[in-house]
Amino acid sequence: MLLTDKVCLITGAASQRGIGRATARLFAEFGAKVVILDLDAGQAEAAARDIGPGHLGLACDVTDKAACLAAAREVVSRLGRIDVLVNNAGITQPLKIMEIEPANYDAVTDVNLRGTLYMSQAVIPQMRAQAAGAIVCMSSVSAQRGGGIFGGPHYSAAKGGVLGLTKAMARELGPDGVRVNAVTPGLIQTDITGGKLTDELKVEIAKGIPLGRLGVADDVAKACLFLACDLSAYTTGAVIDVNGGMLI
Ligand code: NAD
């Protein structure tokens, strides 16, 4: 199978309907040993149990560099290696430009961008030692078109930063055998978006999407699977849109 015995860390994968959880489930189906990292240890462990036996759930706040380093150390001591990291943890705040206070900017930038840097820094030494690894970073269509329904301008900026960081890491780590790519989801029905979408709004939004529907978490998980496994062996620094054609 595509990910047999690969140790795959996914941040922000505890949320039941989230992209991270769908990715964890799909990776497990393809043979991975999945490590779910999220804010709450109990929820991370429950999510790991939910996808099947042999997976791990650990508490890790990606905004805390020491916590990221500790999580990576624990994974290596328990599972011996780290093959894949999906930097999925993220938060949004639906604010307009003049509503953004310093605390808003810090919170959104910390989870989406700083967290991507810290968690990547935590796994890179192990991937370098293995001379192999794949990092997948979760950006957003908000980075490409400047805003959306749910993310504010600071979210667009942070997710744009994720694209720059992805390319810089891909350039630096390529010679070490480590690939780094990004996914830019469009509007995906998860807890971030789900509860706030009325049926009328969904129909209205779908009219602007060539494939005629909103995305589901599995749509994004499949792109992560491609970028995590050898099917994308010659792909690094790439950005894959999963948005139903929203930007055409
Ligand atoms: P979600 O809210 O369902 O999941 C986010 C997860 O991140 C939660 O489990 C949460 O506990 C976790 N998290 C938050 N702060 C954290 C921290 N500091 N450390 C560790 N974990 C933390 O959201 P989702 O819709 O599944 O989004 C997943 C990713 O996809 C995010 O990066 C989001 O910005 C991005 N994205 C989502 C959409 C969409 O339409 N849903 C579109 C584009 C991009």
Residue 220 CB–ligand 1 contact under 6 Å: no
Distance (Å, whole) CA 87 – CA 131: 20
Q: SS3 for 187?
A: coil
Active-site residue flag, 155: yes
- Give the number of residues written for the chain: 248
Domains of the chain, residue spans: 7-238
Using the mean position of ligand 1's atoms as its centre, give its distance from the Cα of residue 76 in Å: 25
Token pair of 179 as six digits: 């690939």
Q: Which CATH class is domain 7-238?
A: alpha beta
Distance (Å, whole) CA 166 – CA 90: 16
91, 220, 224, 243, best to mutate for ligand 1 pocket (most atoms within 8 Å of CB)? 91
- 71: amino acid identity, one letter: A
User: What predicted TM-score, i.e. pTM, was given to this entire model?
Assistant: 0.98
Residue 111 CB–ligand 1 contact under 6 Å: yes
8 Å CB contact between 23 and 224 = yes
Residue 36 CB–ligand 1 contact under 6 Å: no
Q: Give, using CA atoms, the residue closest to atom 19 of ligand 1.
A: 61
One digit per residue, the tens of pLDDT, for the chain of length 248 reads 999 999 999 999 999 999 999 999 999 999 999 999 999 999 999 999 999 999 999 999 999 999 999 999 999 999 999 999 999 999 999 999 999 999 999 999 999 999 999 999 999 999 999 999 999 999 999 999 997 777 899 999 999 999 999 999 999 999 999 999 999 999 999 887 766 788 888 899 999 999 999 999 999 999 999 999 999 999 999 999 999 999 99
Using the mean position of ligand 1's atoms as its centre, give its distance from the Cα of residue 14 in Å: 10
Q: E-assigned strands of the chain?
A: 7-11, 33-38, 56-59, 84-87, 133-138, 178-185, 239-242
Residue 91 CB–ligand 1 contact under 6 Å: yes
Using the mean position of ligand 1's atoms as its centre, give its distance from the Cα of residue 91 in Å: 5
